Amino acid sequence: MTRENLIQFIRQRNSYLCVGLDTDIELLPPHLLKGSDPVFEFNKAIIDATRAYCVAYKINTAFYEAMGAAGWSIMEKTVAYIGKEHFLIADAKRGDIGNTSRQYARAFFDTLPFDAITVAPYMGKDSVTPFLEFPDKWTIVLGLTSNPGAADFEMLSTSNGLLYEQVLKKVSSWGSPDNLMFVVGATQADSFTHIRSICPSHFLLVPGVGAQGGSLKEISLKAMNDDIGILVNVSRAIIYASSKEDFAQAAADAAKAYQQEMSLYL
C-alpha cells in the first residue's frame, strides 16, 4: 500500500484507528470455545464489527506463533479475511543479519501479504534495509516504546543525545517517509513534539491508547503532521470490550467511539 493510499483511507473514513488483533485464546468469550476454530471465529467477528471504523489492523504474531502450525494457518486466514481495504501490519519485531532479514521480509510481504512489519533496529542498517527493498511495503522501526524497560536502553544518554533520538535520526536516512514508520508509545506523549522535530514527515505507529492509559487527544494534538501521519493502535480496549456473547457489538461500539473522537481532530 502506498502512502497516498493510506492517507486516502484515513481521510475517507475520518479515522486513523488501528485495531490490534492480539487474540489470546484464554481471553475469548466462553461460548466460542465450543467451536472448532474459536480464534478465527473471534477474529472474523471483530473484523466485521470494526472494519467501518478503522484504517488498519495489527496482528501481533506471537499470539499465533504460540499455537504452532495451527496458529500460522489462523493468521493466514485472518489476513485473507481482512482483505485489501485496510492497512495490514505484522507486529513481529524481526531484525537479524541481512540474509535472514530478507527471508523474514519474504515471509511477511510475499507469503503472508502484509503491508508492513515491525522491526527491531538493534543490529543496525544491514538488518533493516532488506525490509525496505520491497516496493509499496513499509518497515515500522521501534523508536521510543511505552514499556518500563524503554529506560534500559532507549533513554540512555549518549554524546549526541538520547539513544532513541540517534535511532530515529540514523534510520530516517535509510528509507523515506514513503516506506518507513516509527513506533512511538502513547505513554511517551511529552516526547512527541521533539520527535516530530526529528522526523517531521514520517508516519508514527502509536500503541498504548486504551488499556495502557495513553491520551488520544494529547497524542493527536502533538503527533499529527500535514498528512495526519499517525496510526493509533488500540487492542484490548476494543477486542476485549466484552467477554460475553455481545463481544462483537461491544467492540463495534468501542471502535466507533475512537473513530468519532478522531474525527474531531482531523
The set of catalytic residues is 93
Helix (H, G, I), strand (E, B) or coil at 159: coil
Per the DSSP assignment, residues forming a β-bridge with 206 are 232
- Do 244 and 29 form a contact (C-beta atoms < 8 A)? yes
Distance CA(225)–CA(209), nearest Å, equals: 19
Do strands 161-162 and 157-158 pair parallel, antiparallel, or not at all (unpaired)? Answer: antiparallel
Q: Which residues of 65-80 are buried (b: 16+ CB within 10 A; e: fewer)?
A: eeeeeebbebbeebbe
- Do 90 and 112 form a contact (C-beta atoms < 8 A)? yes
